[in-house]
Structure 1
Amino acid sequence: MEKNLFREVYKQVCGLALKDCPPSSLSGLLHGYLSVYSMVRVYPWLEDEYGSLWDIHDRIREIARVIQELLKDKDMPVDSRAGYAVDLMDAYLLYSDMKFLDVALDTAYEILIPKGSDKIVLPCRTPNICRLLCNCYYFTGEYEGGLLAEKLVTEAMGMSRKFNCDELIDWWSAICVYECVFGEIHVLEKERERLIGEQIRLGTKVEQVKNEKIGSFLLEFGNSPLLSIVFNILGKREFDRCNQYYSNRE
């Protein structure tokens, strides 16, 4: 069922003109397309369903250029600006345009390091800031940023029962980024078991919330503000499904 839904969502997304898309939808669109690109790159025969690798690549570049323009607005709320900087870094990992990375890193340090200082100061303690710290560490080896990211993740794990639905999804994304960059959280052994249990609980809850988002989307299919969110959710699930299906056939 989800596979057919993803195909329908993908068709709808491909028909969108970016100039008509609200800025808040760009991150979901970008990461949904990154999942599609990964699927087609690993399983080339999927071009028949999702289009050529180059066309997907070009769409990602188009979204990244819109995000790059948005980052010129220094009056934008800092959390939103941090999120767009991370998105541009994620696009760079595929597209390898140094302008994307340069703009993203310049923005990151404008956000994290006050003028006249050489130390990182967190403007807020949000998932986007956590993702930004992780990506800065990945690209520059910024050790202090890595320590701060770990603190934010540990704090989030302890507070996760108080998060609303959107906060759960956003923090789960940040935690996943942290794990990709750093691996497991460094805590005392007596704390490890508790954190593992909390992470399992959080992951289960996040999947429930995502299913609820998909259910809400289906009620207003065709004209839903949830389109980009659902595209991102289903894109990741479809890539995981492909990996499992084709690995079992080998």
Structure 2
Amino acid sequence: MEKNLFREVYKQVCGLALKDCPPSSLSGLLHGYLSVYSMVRVYPWLEDDYGSLWDIHDRIREIARVIQELLKDKDLPVDTRAGYVVDLMDAYLLYSDMKFVDVALDAAYEILIPKGSDKIVLPCRTPNICRLLCNCYYFTGEDECIVLAKNLVTEALGVSRKFNCEELRDWWRAICFYEDVVGTMELSLEEQISLEEERVRLTTCVKQQKDEIIERFHHVDEDIRFDVEVFNILAKRAFVECNAAYRKWK
């Protein structure tokens, strides 16, 4: 059932003009397409369902160019700007996309290093800043970035039971991203145990929240932002399901 829904939503977002997409929804649209790109890259026969790899890549680049324009507004709230920077870094897929990373890194260090200083100072302690630090480490190898990201992850684990629904999803995304980039070896044994315990609880909570969002989609007429949110959720699930299904054949 979700597979059919995903195809329906995918057709809708493929026809979406980016000028009609609210800036707050660009991240979800980008990451939904990144999941589709990953599926088609790993399983090329899925081009019949989702279009050619190059067409998907062009769509990702189109979204990234819009985000790059948004980054020029230095009066944006720092957390919003950090989110755009991370999205631009995430859009890197091929060497031809390296200019996105260059622009994003320049903006990242404008955010992290106050003018006239040479030291990183966190402007806020949010999931976007955590992801920003992880990406800076990934692209530059700067150890200080990952130390600061680890501190944010540790803090988040300590107060995760107080998060509201949106905070829970955002921090879980940041924590998973930290694990993907760094792993858990930077954490102490106690922190690793805490992370594993929270993983079980948070995974269940976040899945439940996403299931509720999808259920609403069946019964309520929503706007573009809701369509994009459902697209992003279903695209990630579709990729996971593809991996589970096709690996059985190997």
Same fold (TM over 0.5): yes
Q: Alignment partner of 1:16: what SS?
A: coil
Q: How much has 1:188 moved relative to structure 2?
A: 3.7
8 Å contact 2:154–2:191 — kept in the other structure? no
Q: How much has 1:31 moved relative to structure 2?
A: 0.4
Q: Alignment partner of 1:92: what SS?
A: coil
Which runs of no fewer than 5 residues in structure 2 stay unpaired? Answer: none
Structure 1 match to 2:122:
122
Structure 2 match to 1:173:
173
Q: Alignment partner of 2:124: what SS?
A: coil
TM-score (norm 1): 0.96
| Per-residue Cα deviation, 1:215-250 (whole angstroms, up to 9, x for no partner) | 222222463531111111111100000011011122
State the aligned residue count.
250
Residue 245 (structure 2) pairs with residue 245 (structure 1): yes
CA distance in 1, matches of 2:44, 2:206: 31
Q: How much has 1:84 moved relative to structure 2?
A: 0.5
8 Å contact 1:157–1:199 — kept in the other structure? no
Q: How much has 1:93 moved relative to structure 2?
A: 3.2
Structure 2 match to 1:3:
3
Structure 1 match to 2:99:
99
TM-score (norm 2): 0.96
Structure 1 match to 2:131:
131
Structure 2 match to 1:26:
26
8 Å contact 2:82–2:128 — kept in the other structure? yes
CA distance in 2, matches of 1:99, 1:188: 36
- CA 1:191/1:183 → structure 2, altered by over 3 Å: closer, same or farther? closer
CA distance in 1, matches of 2:100, 2:189: 40
CA distance in 1, matches of 2:191, 2:126: 23
Identity %: 74
Task: Write out aligned runs for 1:1-250 (5 A).
Answer: 1-94=1-94, 96-184=96-184, 186-221=186-221, 223-250=223-250
8 Å contact 1:112–1:120 — kept in the other structure? yes
